[in-house]
């Protein structure tokens, strides 16, 4: 089967991560899948953001779980954006482009998961949405139930899967949605890999690229979607290893490389 290309936090290389702008760009770049991260706000809304705090990606400071949805909606999720340079030779042009993009997207808002689902539906997305449940550093009581309720009430035109570094979150999601695709996120840690391979309800592994790129690795009993793979040589290597998917900040570049291979 052809290796799929998943857009990591959207097309993060050129748009503020985990915003509707980055998901729109991922659609433009024809990503097969889109990856995003979810946390819970103070009033138990599913918030699409990577970090536990808003410090890095917005103009404010604080934990997501200490802010209500209406407080989060006042924040600017585009103001700290920096274009990821694809070549050092293009630095000057890229810096200019970065400023331009920052100006255009500077008032981008943090979306809720519901808003992202509506957006993908409205734009006829037919790929796979990878929802990462960010419970590895913070315990959000009931996030799995709230998430599952949000997902099952919808008739979506696209498929979805849950991933998490937190094994317990995946167990809970399995109880709530016994047939859903569940991926265990791992680093390059053999014990974690074994745990994911042995648990029947885990349908795939999402290992860090160093695991799948290691010269000892040949194949896996379960599909591998590997993160976060941005360098051309790594993308090429993983394509030859026939992994199920590559999770990348550069979906269009990865698609171009896949076409050439
Ligand atoms: O889902 C793969 C990858 O997103 C996990 O790492 O830190 O980017 O959420 P992180
Ligand atoms: Ca993630």
Contact 52, 41 (CB under 8 A): no
Question: Which ligand number lies closest to the CA of residue 18?
Answer: 2
Question: Which ligand number lies closest to the CA of residue 209?
Answer: 1
Atom of ligand 1 nearest to the CA of 50: 9
| pLDDT for 219 beyond 90 | no
- Upper half-sphere CA count for residue 127 (Cβ side, 13 Å): 21
Does this complex have an ipTM over 0.85? yes
Q: CA geometry: angle at 38 spanning 34 and 236, to 5°?
A: 35
Residues enclosing ligand 1, CB less than 6 A?
A: 8, 35, 37, 50, 132, 163, 185, 206, 227-228, 247
Q: How far is the CA of 152 from the centre of ligand 1 (A)?
A: 24
Whether 8 is catalytic: yes
Q: How far is the CA of 227 from the centre of ligand 1 (A)?
A: 7
User: Mean per-residue pLDDT for 105-110?
Assistant: 91
Whether 50 is catalytic: yes
Residue 103 pLDDT grade (very low, low, confident, very high; cuts 50, 70, 90): confident
Q: CA geometry: angle at 166 spanning 161 and 168, to 5°?
A: 90
State pTM to two decimals: 0.96
Q: How far is the CA of 131 from the centre of ligand 2 (A)?
A: 8
Query: Shortest CA distance to 241 belongs to which of 259, 260, 230, 225?
Result: 225
User: Mean per-residue pLDDT for 15-29?
Assistant: 97
Domains in the chain: boundaries: 4-51+111-260
To test the ligand 1 pocket, which listed residue (36, 37, 226) has its Cβ within 8 A of the most ligand atoms? 37
Of all protein residues, the one whose alpha carbon is nearest to atom 10 of ligand 1 is 50
User: Mean per-residue pLDDT for 172-186?
Assistant: 98
Query: pLDDT, tens digit, for every residue of 31-66?
Result: 999 999 999 999 999 999 999 999 999 999 999 999
- Bigger pLDDT: 258 or 96? 258
Q: What CATH fold (topology level) applies to the domain 4-51+111-260? A: TIM Barrel (3.20.20)
Catalytic one of 8, 65, 174, 206: 8
Contact 47, 110 (CB under 8 A): yes
Q: How far is the CA of 198 from the centre of ligand 2 (A)?
A: 23
Q: From the centroid of its chain, how far is CA 155?
A: 21
């Amino acid at each position: 089967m052809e290796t799929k290309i998943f857009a990591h936090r959207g097309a993060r290389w050129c748009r503020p991560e985990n915003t509707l702008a980055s998901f729109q760009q991922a659609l433009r770049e024809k990503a097969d899948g889109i990856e995003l991260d979810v946390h819970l706000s103070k009033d138990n809304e599913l918030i699409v953001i990577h970090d536990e705090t808003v410090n890095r990606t917005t103009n404010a400071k604080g934990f997501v779980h200490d802010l209500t949805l209406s407080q989060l909606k006042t924040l600017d999720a585009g103001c700290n954006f920096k274009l990821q340079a694809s070549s050092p030779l293009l630095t000057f042009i890229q810096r200019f482009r970065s400023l331009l993009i920052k100006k255009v997207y500077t008032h981008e808002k943090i979306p809720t998961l519901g808003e992202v689902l509506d957006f993908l539906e409205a734009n006829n997305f037919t790929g796979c949405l990878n929802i990462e449940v960010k419970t590895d550093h913070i315990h959000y009581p009931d996030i799995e139930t709230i998430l599952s309720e949000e997902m099952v009430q919808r008739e979506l035109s696209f498929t979805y899967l849950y991933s998490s570094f937190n094994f317990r979150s995946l167990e809970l999601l399995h109880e709530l949605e016994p047939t859903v695709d569940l991926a265990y996120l791992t680093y390059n840690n053999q014990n974690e890999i074994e745990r994911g391979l042995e648990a029947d309800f885990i349908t795939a592994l999402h290992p860090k690229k160093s695991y799948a790129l290691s010269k000892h690795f040949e194949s896996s009993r379960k599909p591998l979607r590997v993160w976060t793979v941005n360098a051309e040589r790594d993308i090429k290597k993983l394509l030859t290893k026939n992994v199920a998917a590559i999770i990348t900040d550069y979906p269009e570049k990865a698609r171009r490389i896949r076409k050439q291979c």
